[in-house]
């Protein structure tokens, strides 16, 4: 077959996620692919189903979906991590949106989109999808012989895209030697994900390894990007499906699925928080070698820590999203050190226009009005425009990019800077400027005595700043819970 051409920038057509609205048709797939038919059964309501606890069934489903929808030949051995295709497709399409937004300018004169897959695994799913759907080129790294051999085989089984994907081996001994000579400290290679030649980079002034706070979970493995990215290489993005768990026992807690997975793929000391923190630390060294650094996050509770970590390292932008497929939720985290284009604000990537949380265990003197007044003070602290309606129990907020940035960074802006933003907000009639303003409504309802429901709603979904909505609402939740739900004496 003729080789697939790399797609040039500016010629991309927005691809469609085949699984976003309509799930896979097991009945149709079973009739088309005899090898899949034995795994299909019918429930009492007549719907075709498969046994998600059967690894062979989930592997065969992934195989026929890749063949049917993407014309890809694919296979993995028993026990290797079997990807859920809809979830992985969500991640690819989100990166497509990040690149298409053009918030972060293209690096140098690079013509074609180039990605880096951290720990591609035997399945090599992200490079296969990115190359087949979008013509992207990839470097895919991994550490075990099985993963490298199988991913290489999966690439070569698809000659129409094979030239777009490079499988890159990680060499432990060289990495250990270089990491010891680079920072004077020995590394614990219990999680040998990605490492290599530390001397091949133009290092920044920051230390090669940044210590985590004592309360945080520590990663004891080698750097993940440093030493694998070669000198002079530039990428549009990196992506990662990190090891979510701290122990193999924890990885097997879900009895309703059987996606396989080896300890190297699913487990590392400190779990995903420590692993992604190391990606962040490596990104501090590599800085603008990537337009976007990204990772999937399995636990929403880790997002707050990771986002705070990123702002502390001086990134220029942070983006998050939620991937929802069936009953499974994952989150995407992206950041960059490249200054955004001037007068460009983050574009719309928000998944939900309405969010809520409960304030429980409130003392008698704390009413809905008190909560609204506190929310009003929270947003006014950055000089956003706020209008409190005590009769309807809601607060309307209009915020510009600078207001959102000040709240998310939790840093005080200088007085003149705030005045400039406030003046723009009140005086500008420019339609483009108005479209870039974030408009929120915060409402408070009493559920039962001692419990209030706080609801946030995005008033304009197409707003360029709508991606900041879930982050701001999380900040507001933290602020209100700290004030009203504190246990013990204040």
119 annotated ligand binder: yes
Residues 221, 278 contacting (CB under 8 angstroms): yes
Give the distance, in angstroms, between the CA of residue 347 and the centroid of all CA atoms in the same chain: 16
SS (H, E, C) the chain: CCCCCCCECCCCCCCCCCCCCCCCCHHHHHHHCCCCHHHCEECCCCCEECCCCCHHHHHHHHHHHHHHHHCCCCCCCCCCCCCCHHHHHHHHHHHHHHHHHCCCCCCCCCCECEEEEECCCCCCHHHHHHHHHHCCEEEEEECCHHHHHHHHHHHHCCCCCHHHEEEEECCHHHHHHHHHHHHCCCCCCCCCCCCCCHHHCCCCCCCCCCCCCCCCCCCCCCCCCCCCCCCCCCEEEEEECCCCECCHHHHCCCCCCCCCCCHHHHECCCHHHHHHHHHHHHHHHHHHHEEEEEEEECCCHHHHHHHHHHHHCCCCEEEEEEEEECCEEEEEEEEECCCCCCCCCCCCCCCCCEEEEEECCCCCCCCHHHHHHHHHHHHHCCCCEEEEECCCCEEEEEECHHHHHHHHHCCCCCHHHHHHHHHHHHHCCCHHHHHCCEEEEEEEEEEECCEEEEEEEECCCCCCCHHHHHHHHHHHHHHHHHHHCCCCCC
241 annotated ligand binder: yes
168 annotated ligand binder: no
Q: How far apart are CA 125 and CA 137, in angstroms?
A: 13
88 annotated ligand binder: yes
Burial category of 346 from C-beta neighbours within 10 Å (exposed 0-12, middle 13-18, buried 19 and up) = buried
CA distances from 408 to 287, 317, 447 (A): 21, 10, 29
Q: What are phi and psi of 18, to 5 degrees?
A: -65, -20
CA distances from 353 to 356, 460, 462 (A): 10, 9, 10
Known binding residues = 88, 119, 142, 241
Known binding residues for S-adenosyl-L-methionine = 88, 119, 142, 241
């Amino acid at each position: 077959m003729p080789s697939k051409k790399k797609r040039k920038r500016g010629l991309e057509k927005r691809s469609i996620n085949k699984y976003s609205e309509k799930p896979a048709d097991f009945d149709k797939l079973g009739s088309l692919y005899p090898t899949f038919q034995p795994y299909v059964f019918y429930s009492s309501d007549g719907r075709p189903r498969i046994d998600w606890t059967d690894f062979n069934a989930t592997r065969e489903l992934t195989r026929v979906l890749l063949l049917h929808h993407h014309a890809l030949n694919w296979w993995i051995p028993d026990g290797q991590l079997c990807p859920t295709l809809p979830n992985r497709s969500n991640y690819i399409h989100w990166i497509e949106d990040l690149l298409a937004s053009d918030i972060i300018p293209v690096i140098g004169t690079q013509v074609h989109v180039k990605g880096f897959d951290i720990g591609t695994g035997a399945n090599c799913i992200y490079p296969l999808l990115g190359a087949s759907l979008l013509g992207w080129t990839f470097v895919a790294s991994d550490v075990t012989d099985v993963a490298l051999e199988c991913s290489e085989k999966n690439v070569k089984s698809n000659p129409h895209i094979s030239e777009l994907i490079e499988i890159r081996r990680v060499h432990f001994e060289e990495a250990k030697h270089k990491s010891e000579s680079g920072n004077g400290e020995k590394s614990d290679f219990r999680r040998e994900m990605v490492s290599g030649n530390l001397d091949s980079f133009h290092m920044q002034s920051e230390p090669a390894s940044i210590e985590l706070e004592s309360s945080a979970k520590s990663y004891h493995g080698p750097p993940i990007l440093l030493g694998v990215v070669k000198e002079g290489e530039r990428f549009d993005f990196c992506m990662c499906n990190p090891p979510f768990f701290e122990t193999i026992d924890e990885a097997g807690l879900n009895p309703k699925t059987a996606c396989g997975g080896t300890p190297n793929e699913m487990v590392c000391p400190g779990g995903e928080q420590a692993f992604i923190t190391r990606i962040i630390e490596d990104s501090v060294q590599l800085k603008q070698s990537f337009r976007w650094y990204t990772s999937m996050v399995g636990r929403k509770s880790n997002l707050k820590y990771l986002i705070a970590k990123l702002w502390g390292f001086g990134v220029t932008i942070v983006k998050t999203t939620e991937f929802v497929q069936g009953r499974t939720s994952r989150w995407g985290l992206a950041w960059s050190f490249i200054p955004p284009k001037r007068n460009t604000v983050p574009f719309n990537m928000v998944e939900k226009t309405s969010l809520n949380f409960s304030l429980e265990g409130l003392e008698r003197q704390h009413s809905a009005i008190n909560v609204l007044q506190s929310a009003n003070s929270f947003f006014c602290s950055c000089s956003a425009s706020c209008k409190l309606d005590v009769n309807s129990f809601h607060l309307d907020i209009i915020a510009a990019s600078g207001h959102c940035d000040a709240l998310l960074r939790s840093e005080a802006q200088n007085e003149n800077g705030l005045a400039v933003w406030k003046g723009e907000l009140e005086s500008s009639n420019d339609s483009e400027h108005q479209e870039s303003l974030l408009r929120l409504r915060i409402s408070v309802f009493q559920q039962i005595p001692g419990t209030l429901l706080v609801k946030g709603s995005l008033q304009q979904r197409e707003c360029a700043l709508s991606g900041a909505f879930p982050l701001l609402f999380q900040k507001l939740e933290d602020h209100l819970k700290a004030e009203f739900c504190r246990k013990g004496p204040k």
